[in-house]
Chain A
């Protein structure tokens, strides 16, 4: 990550920086998620898992020294005029399909795809001597299983090429070009250094461009699986797409969907009221079209100001989004 990669998280609205850091790292606390949703960067959840607080602080300091952001109060920051101008002149890559919350393993999907492409390319050119681009054994394992299943398909390479072509036509061509240039195959492959000279993306942007593309593919696989017989088997969407909720929250949410009141949920799950409230707040925030009004109606637990305040906040947020 380079310093200016962080500019996308700021706007003219004052905001705290800690939630930005925790979102990038993938820390799921309600206040972080709420701030991230409020300021529109929730989808970047877990997109820079290796970022350390020291590095992050350094970047923030740098942005301030460059007068791209400025403090408004003790903890809050916003873009300066210079910062706004920068964002207009050098807009960051904006993702369209990517969502770090519901797609936690996109990098695995990308690695599997890269390896599958290499394997098929070498197979097509009858070359058996090559270094695999991915050395992670479990990924090699998945791809090998896939290849065993599909290798007798007639015109295998041609069909796979058709599926990839179909995918690339769904994306802006600049994005497709970058994604394709990152492939390796028979006598083909560019190093990161070569790619960096041609495509001016920062490493973080470059990753997002690729993850966004693979997210697009995964959503297609889920929606119209029959159009993608080969990719479908390689990247089963259920392995890569999930509800953005932790397992326990999911169980609570399922009971709520069945029509139980909150105290019934507490009884059935043997959970404290506070825990159930926490689960439902998370669900209300993260599930699209969550019915907050019904939740308020079915709340038969002792009054809790924090709970109702947060729910109203979410209601307010959702109104803005519509």
Chain B
């Protein structure tokens, strides 16, 4: 293992070792080798292009399908103290865009969508600078075989040839062999190397607890929070239950807890992320809106208070635990008659039939809608997809999600190795050797013993709120200014 890479990793990111797949990809990029990386969400995909950007000179361009995704990634870089990053998209006004294009040398990371990159002025400006890596995030969007197909991605083959990057890195979390081949063909990179990393996360213990009824479930959650090594995330299916439980935990366990969901203002969302990152908050009660941008390495548990919307989202949410490689646990709380909910399109960020109808009636009306669902419709429309084609695509997507939910319900009621079922579902041949550090066979009826066995048992005594010196009830503005500026 190259010492330099490890030293850079520690210095820049504070990690002491790479996670599977990362090093191979980084070495490829540094050698100018085009690479297709298939890494599950939460495995540190972005580090694969961030680290080389600090080692080599030149601009790294990251192609992203959605404005909201770019915004999150830039915010994440800003959190890491990286100021030389910018998202070039329609939210920047014309003069700001012009400034960026004439000062490209000032930037290390440039995020953009295929449409923007394809603009003649943008291409011309980019051709003047030294481009180190072209990163195609969510690369599976280029494949018509995939349900996430983004027509604008088809332009990337031609764009890549004009930009002439030293290396192209295609990243995706999931891609069947058919989709993998399609990605390489569309980008005309048949010789690219593939780095595929298993969805399995050996340091996460998979646990399911069945509760007698809703009341028992609530009590079980509170007990768990008392006993679990912190910090952690609890996922709920509704905003209301996330809020209610956050309050209950705060009151009964005296642990700094916040709720987090899509209805919060941007400011509140970032405030909560910030406090969770710095350890001021120990527990987050979240809906599936939480996750983007969260790169906290030491999350010890993820609890699902309700069933997730699909097997994929379960894996993604669970994957936020234990990124530092230490023992962590995923606990699902279930009821005898509970099964997952049918996937709803809007929850997946996809347009509903009503939205599709409204859109195709008056496409011009939705031209600049920042709503991800309409962003997608705009792309499809610009690429001449008809209303019925779009409807069909969405229906397929919904069906696929429901199939995955069905597989997840089997996972819940399994009496054999859960990890084996999981890797199978995600198309891997790997044979899991089950042991008592792996998963709970059947429902766990002795959770305390499980936690002790995993060394995750930790009696949480009352925590003193960290901002005790700033009591909001008596706070006056001179104090605020003093605290902020002195």
Is A49 part of the binding interface, using a Cβ–Cβ cutoff of 8 Å? Answer: no
Q: Which residues of A contact B89 (CB under 8 A)?
A: 137
Is B244 part of the binding interface, using a Cβ–Cβ cutoff of 8 Å? Answer: no
| B-side interface residues, number (CB < 8 Å) | 42
The answer to whether A165 and B267 have CB atoms under 8 Å apart is: no
The residue in A157, A168, A180 that gathers the most chain B C-beta atoms within 10 A of its C-beta is A180
Interface string of A173-203 (1 = CB under 8 A from B): 1001101110111111111111100100000
Q: Which residues of B contact A185 (CB under 8 A)?
A: 483-485
Q: Which residues of B contact A190 (CB under 8 A)?
A: 472
Is B54 part of the binding interface, using a Cβ–Cβ cutoff of 8 Å? Answer: no
| A-side interface residues, number (CB < 8 Å) | 44
The answer to whether B472 and A181 have CB atoms under 8 Å apart is: yes
The answer to whether B484 and A135 have CB atoms under 8 Å apart is: no
A22 to B267, CA, bound (A): 29
The answer to whether A183 and B81 have CB atoms under 8 Å apart is: no
Q: Which residues of B contact A134 (CB under 8 A)?
A: 266-267
The answer to whether B480 and A188 have CB atoms under 8 Å apart is: yes
Contacting chain B: which of A71-79, A121-129, A267-275?
Answer: A121-129
Is A132 part of the binding interface, using a Cβ–Cβ cutoff of 8 Å? Answer: yes
Is A158 part of the binding interface, using a Cβ–Cβ cutoff of 8 Å? Answer: yes
Q: Which residues of B contact A157 (CB under 8 A)?
A: 485-486
Interface string of B448-486 (1 = CB under 8 A from A): 000000000000000000010010110111101111111
The residue in chain A whose Cβ has the minimal distance to the Cβ of B67 is A137
Is A130 part of the binding interface, using a Cβ–Cβ cutoff of 8 Å? Answer: yes
The residue in chain A whose Cβ has the minimal distance to the Cβ of B76 is A131
Is B93 part of the binding interface, using a Cβ–Cβ cutoff of 8 Å? Answer: yes
Is A30 part of the binding interface, using a Cβ–Cβ cutoff of 8 Å? Answer: no
The residue in chain A whose Cβ has the minimal distance to the Cβ of B275 is A189
Q: Which residues of B contact A131 (CB under 8 A)?
A: 75, 78-79, 270-271, 273-274, 293
The answer to whether A141 and B485 have CB atoms under 8 Å apart is: no
Is B171 part of the binding interface, using a Cβ–Cβ cutoff of 8 Å? Answer: no
Is B87 part of the binding interface, using a Cβ–Cβ cutoff of 8 Å? Answer: yes
The residue in chain A whose Cβ has the minimal distance to the Cβ of B68 is A135
The answer to whether B477 and A180 have CB atoms under 8 Å apart is: yes
Q: How far is the CB of B471 from chain A (nearest CB, A)?
A: 10
Asked if A120 meets B485 with Cβ closer than 8 Å, knowing A184-B267, A198-B472, the reply is: yes
Is A295 part of the binding interface, using a Cβ–Cβ cutoff of 8 Å? Answer: no
Write the residues of chain B forming the contact surface with A, with a CB cutoff of 8 angstroms.
71, 75, 78-81, 83, 87, 89, 91-93, 96, 258, 264-268, 270-275, 278, 293, 467, 470, 472-473, 475-478, 480-486
Write the residues of chain A forming the contact surface with B, with a CB cutoff of 8 angstroms.
114, 117, 120-121, 124, 128-138, 141, 157-158, 160-161, 164-165, 168, 173, 176-177, 179-181, 183-195, 198
Cross-chain pairs A/B with CB under 8 angstroms, 30 sampled:
A114-B267, A121-B484, A121-B485, A128-B83, A129-B79, A131-B78, A131-B79, A131-B270, A131-B271, A132-B78, A132-B270, A133-B270, A136-B91, A137-B87, A137-B92, A141-B93, A141-B96, A181-B475, A181-B477, A184-B271, A185-B483, A185-B485, A186-B484, A189-B274, A190-B472, A191-B264, A193-B268, A194-B472, A195-B472, A198-B475
Which 9 residue pairs of A and B lie closest in terms of their CB atoms, listed nearest first? A128-B81, A185-B484, A180-B477, A180-B480, A131-B270, A161-B485, A176-B477, A157-B485, A121-B484
19 other A-B residue contacts (CB within 8 Å) besides A130-B274, A138-B93, A191-B271: A121-B484, A124-B486, A128-B81, A129-B79, A131-B75, A134-B267, A135-B270, A137-B89, A138-B91, A158-B485, A161-B486, A165-B478, A168-B478, A177-B476, A181-B477, A183-B480, A188-B480, A192-B264, A192-B268
